[in-house]
Amino acid sequence: MFFNDAEAAGFAEVEVLTRTLERRVQERTVQLSDANRELAAKRVELEEQNREVRCATEHKSAFLASMSHEFRTPLNAILGFTRLTLKKAGEVLPPVQRDNLKKVEKSAVDLLGIISDVLDLSKVEAGKLTVRPEAFALTDLVDEVLASAAPLVGDRPLKLEKRILTSTEQMVSDRVRVKQILVNLVSNAIQFTPSGAATVEVDHDPARDWFRIAVIDTGLGISERDAASIFEPFDQVQSAVAQGSAGTGLGLAIVRRLCHLLGGTVTLRSELGRGSRFTVEVPRVLSAAVAPAPWLDPAAGEAGAAPVEGRAAAADGGV
């Protein structure tokens, strides 16, 4: 077969182009496999770093757990002997000395509270806090919580209320942990509400067989910006700190982790200056196989974090 000059030149050009293309493909293939190798190396490095971070977190939690435990023993001695002295010699002590001893007692009680918060948080983070389900009446538990929180109100014009919207009251869950969640939320509601009401509202969703427990207050409220970080350990809203609130910022972090431990969530709706509504949603019956806590399951990432709703979400219901 014969080709004229123009055709021959055309074929030559196609061949040159094909060769150039082949060379480019080869170059790109080499570049790609280099990039792949680099990626694989980075993945190994990241996995190693992840392992180190998990290991460090476990060590931190173990350290905090044992330190907190060690702190508690002498602190209980301080508390015990202070109370004993107040009881045996309170009458004969000059009033100033008696008041001083009462301050020692109060500080020891506060410190004990902080230490048990740190201990609880590190235990949940280390996956060492186990749940012990038992049957109990949720409404009785709410009464108990409100009664124990009543002294925190002092002489403020603040009503403590209970609103039960369901006839279902039996719960099978970890009573101690449900109580701890409610004590934290109710004491916050009282602490950050100068006047009005702090209400515990209990409802039951028959479709899922879950309880919805809301702690509602008419207090300072929380801005959308603060709401985003309020469930993080040691996070406190600056204005609240400035007003001299005596907490550590661990309460809500513990609440969120305990809600996860009970298979549920906690969410917040709030409006600055008008009040807040913390809603705990938990299964009525705690199943034996509760999903692993999201912060212990590397695959879950942030998706497992409790949702926090800002003001926009509160538009329908207010607080």
Ligand X SMILES: Nc1ncnc2c1ncn2[C@@H]1O[C@H](COP(=O)(O)OP(=O)(O)O)[C@@H](O)[C@H]1O
Q: Is 247 in the site for Mg ion (CB under 5 A)?
A: yes
**Residue 310 is encoded by which pair of tokens?**
């800002």
Rounded least distance, CB 187 to Mg ion, Å:
6
Which positions from 173 through 212 interact with ligand X, judged by CB under 6 A?
184, 188-189, 192
Q: Is 279 in the site for ligand X (CB under 6 A)?
A: no
What's the CA gap between 149 and 187, in Å, rounded?
A: 6
- Which of 237, 262, 306, 319 is close enough to bind ligand X by CB under 6 A? 237
- Which of 251, 256, 314, 319 is close enough to bind ligand X by CB under 6 A? 251
Phi, psi of 137, deg, nearest 5: -90, 120
Element containing residue 304 per DSSP (H, E): none
Interior CA angle at 245 toward 243 and 247, to 5°?
Answer: 155
What's the CA gap between 85 and 96, in Å, rounded?
A: 14
Number of residues in contact with ligand X, rule: CB under 6 A? 21
Q: Is 223 in the site for ligand X (CB under 6 A)?
A: no
Interior CA angle at 255 toward 301 and 167, to 5°?
Answer: 115
- Which of 230, 259, 280, 282 is close enough to bind ligand X by CB under 6 A? 230
The amino acid occupying position 277 is R
Q: Is 188 in the site for Mg ion (CB under 5 A)?
A: yes
What's the CA gap between 201 and 163, in Å, rounded?
A: 5
Rounded least distance, CB 102 to ligand X, Å:
22
Specify the residue, 183 or 305, whose C-beta has the smaller distance to Mg ion: 183
Interior CA angle at 202 toward 140 and 159, to 5°?
Answer: 80
Interacting residues toward ligand X by CB under 6 A = 184, 188-189, 192, 217, 219-220, 222, 230, 235-237, 240, 245, 247-252, 276
Interacting residues toward Mg ion by CB under 5 A = 188, 247, 251
